[in-house]
Amino acid sequence: MSDSYGITPDTWQANLLRNQPDNTLLLCSRQSGKSTVSAALSLYRATFYRKSLVLIISASLRQAEELFRKVKSGLSHVTSLHKIVRENQSMLELSNGSRIISLPGREDTVRSYSSVDLLVIDEAAQVSDALYATIRPMLAISQGKLLALTTPFGKRGWFFKTWTFGSPKWVKVKVTADECSRISQEFIDQELKEVGEWWVKQEYYCEFVDTENQLFEFDLIEGAVSNEISALVL
């Protein structure tokens, strides 16, 4: 990653690049490097595994374009191994037959893809449960890898549920602002003044906080539910 992106990877980034787990959840502070390492993993898969399909799904078109821009920023390293035979705003194809495709998260745009070798879900906490259920079958035949990266987006949705209650098959990586040397405490202190504690907890310290207009807290609702009580049948 240091060669293609001009940086030395943090320890957590280096571990991820070295181990490349099958199912990974990245819960990371803003500006901690989650997009960069995801782009590097996408390029690695496409470069060293011929005829691979890497599909990047983002919550919005803007986010899809931004992550794909990071992928392209590493192309100077890739082109020393394989030529780029086709490229546009959302797709690039290498001479080894591998493709990297980046799309906004809409069911009508992603359903046609299958046999995905690496599925990257950007801003995963903002990707709907319905879309997540739609894209999971893309890994059924290929037995491909899944990488989901995000900052929190409240105590809701598939990412929150998987992070909190998911099976041991998931490798969970959490990186808060105070674990990233590029984010200074002075900056965080300024953010506290400008945008407030609620925002800082979510965006920089990766806390799943309740929405400010929520009537009942999630933990209060969870505490009121019991599996030991039988349903009342009239």
What CATH number matches the domain at 2-223, 3.40.50.10860, 3.90.420.10, 3.40.50.1980, 3.40.50.300? 3.40.50.300
For the stretch 55-75, pLDDT in tens is 999 988 889 999 999 998 888
- Token code pair at residue 123: 């801003």
Task: Please report, for the chain, the start and end positions of each structural domain, with discontinuous segments joined by +.
Answer: 2-223
Average pLDDT estimate for 193-222? 76
Distance of CA 225 to the CA centre of its chain: 31
pLDDT range class, residue 5, cuts 50, 70, 90: low
pLDDT of residue 107: 77
Residue 171 to residues 15, 80, 166, Cα–Cα distance (Å): 12, 32, 10
Report the pLDDT value the prediction gives residue 78, as an integer from 0 to 100.
64
pTM of the model: 0.86
Q: What is the pLDDT of residues 126-164, one digit of tens each?
A: 999 999 999 999 999 999 999 999 999 999 999 999 999
| CA–CA separation, 24 and 148 (whole Å) | 6
**Which residues share a beta bridge with 25?**
148, 172
Q: Which of 104, 176, 181, 197 is nearest to 189 (CA)?
A: 197
